[in-house]
Amino acid sequence: MLQALKKNPKFTPRRGPVVLAILDGVGYGKYADGDAVKLARTPVLDAFMKNCPVTKLKAHGTAVGMPSDDDMGNSEVGHNAIGCGRVFSQGAKLVEEAVESKKLFAGEVWKKLIENVKRHDSTLHFLGLFSDGNVHSNINHLKAMVEEAKKAGVKHVRIHALLDGRDVPETSALEYIDPFEAFLAELNKDGFDARIASGGGRMVITMDRYGANWDMVRKGWEVHVHGCGEMFRNAHEAVEALRKKTGAIDQDLPPFVISDDGRTPVGAMKDHDSVIFFNFRGDRALEITKAFEAEQLAEFDRGIRPDVMYAGMMEYDGDLHAPKLYLVNPPEIDRTMDEYLCATGVPQLAVSETQKFGHVTYFFNGNRSGKFSDTLDDYEEIRSDIVPFEQRPWMKCAEITDRVVEAIGSGKYGMIRLNFPNGDMVGHTGNMEAVIVAMESLDLCLARIKKAVEEAGGVLVISADHGNADDMLEHDKKGNVKLDKAGAPARKTSHSLNPVPCIVFDPESKNEYKPELREGLGISSLAATCIELLGYEPPADYDPSVLVFK
């Protein structure tokens, strides 16, 4: 059990709670064209920016534990950093190091997977997100594993490719498929046989999270495991045909199966095969992992379940120990803000809708399921709608706000944290008009929370985990908007590399700290900031608060 936090003699706690509002995917745009945050009418957010202490925080790259500052931040690493107040090396960096050092291939799990297929002359399957977005996966890790599998004596490899178009340009699938097919063609000698066997858009199959839509997992299972689906001769043909048929961007393309004769899939999974789910990020890996590992599965009928040896790139949930086998150890994140506040006796509420509920609980708490205290921790999930996000760009922000306003007025909580998913989830659709609606919906909600905080005498901290809505168009190195094949501005669906705001609204301020907040910090500084606003001293090794006391 952690020691209780010490009181901060420089700060008098306010009457009401500290409220941390995470506007997911809302950053400072670098370009005027494509910045839906600026294009939206947001008088409340604008007033906060103008009248409150405000600074910019880094939310990408090394500031959140990614390998380099060319790497986007994401909601997982962002909430890890916000919740634990420090920066840990994250999945992308840990896996990169394990692959480059060959430590992954010297590990017992890799050896077991390889020995299994060699002993049974069976197939090694790789399933995961097929891009170099470095948010959930990296295709370079996949290529290294395929090469090492051949060196180790594996003869049969099948790849099940989840198309991205979300962390990379929206119609870039063939930019990954075609070079990868050429890469496989070079390897396919001396009795080695590696092929892409199935695929589909990541928002259609396999990569559901938080139980939002298990039917996605069912579809993925049928395609990857049983080889049931629309058949094509190769992945290039599948993407071109499905784009023409549906008009969908990569993340929304229907599933496909590769077959030489139009009847028999080239990569259905069979007894004694080995399967590696090569995504390193956990939230969209847990459901497909459960489908492979659970003895009984209530969520859908798996049909005949092949007896395979399954492993994940990382351990996706340390409490559930899922998966049972994994290739790289995850970061060991401890002493989070939630745990410290429980040790100090501060009642807390975490609330969001399904799409980001795990972020304000599991990821915020250092990849830990469950609560630190059954009496001090309250978690509330508001079920997300199962519709394309551009069709409901307001999502559940009103319902989240209802709960937050009620909680502020109740006097029950010392700390409330919430996540509004709109800027990120709608931002990923590439639909500028929908993102503008999303931002304007958020602004209406911020007005209600502002009023509740004022009435309760609390403090509101507004920030984000990374950018997205602030960068909705592709730009070249000179800052000019790129054009798509039709001559229209090329839409951007990935996160941005932009900083995010940190706004402190303290209506009953006693002027204990300067109105100018510290600059040059990362979002990991939000933990120390909230702890100080609660009237306590943050742990000595936490990254510094944005507050500068007089």
The annotated binding site for substrate is made up of 136, 166-167, 202, 209, 281-284, 356
Max CA pair span of the chain: 76
- 449-460 burial, b at 16+ Cβ within 10 Å, e below that, comes to bbebbeebebbb
| Contacts (Cβ under 8 Å, ≥6 apart) of 88 | 65, 80, 81, 331, 332, 333
Residue 372: closest CA among 316, 319, 412, 322? 319
| Contacts (Cβ under 8 Å, ≥6 apart) of 348 | 338, 341, 342, 376, 377, 378, 413, 414, 415, 416, 417
* Helix (H/G/I), strand (E/B), else coil: 271: coil
* Helix (H/G/I), strand (E/B), else coil: 347: coil
- Known catalytic residue: 75? yes
The rounded distance, in Å, linking the Cα atoms of 319 and 108 is: 21
Binding-site residues for Mn(2+), in ranges, read 24, 75, 424, 428, 465-466, 495
* Cβ neighbour number for residue 239 with a 10 Å cutoff: 23
Do residues 16 and 490 touch, judged by C-beta distance below 8 A?
no
CA gyration radius, the chain: 24
The rounded distance, in Å, linking the Cα atoms of 1 and 59 is: 30
The rounded distance, in Å, linking the Cα atoms of 46 and 39 is: 12
Binding-site residues, in ranges, read 24, 75, 136, 166-167, 202, 209, 281-284, 356, 424, 428, 465-466, 495
The rounded distance, in Å, linking the Cα atoms of 275 and 312 is: 8
The rounded distance, in Å, linking the Cα atoms of 56 and 243 is: 40
Q: Residues, the chain, total?
A: 550
Do residues 400 and 382 touch, judged by C-beta distance below 8 A?
yes
The rounded distance, in Å, linking the Cα atoms of 457 and 409 is: 10
Number of H-type helices and E-type strands within the chain: 17, 15
Do residues 126 and 142 touch, judged by C-beta distance below 8 A?
yes
Query: Quick one: DSSP state of residue 25?
Result: B
Q: Which of 68, 75, 101, 198 is catalytic?
A: 75
The rounded distance, in Å, linking the Cα atoms of 186 and 235 is: 17
Residue 351: closest CA among 364, 366, 368? 364
Q: Which residues are catalytic?
A: 75
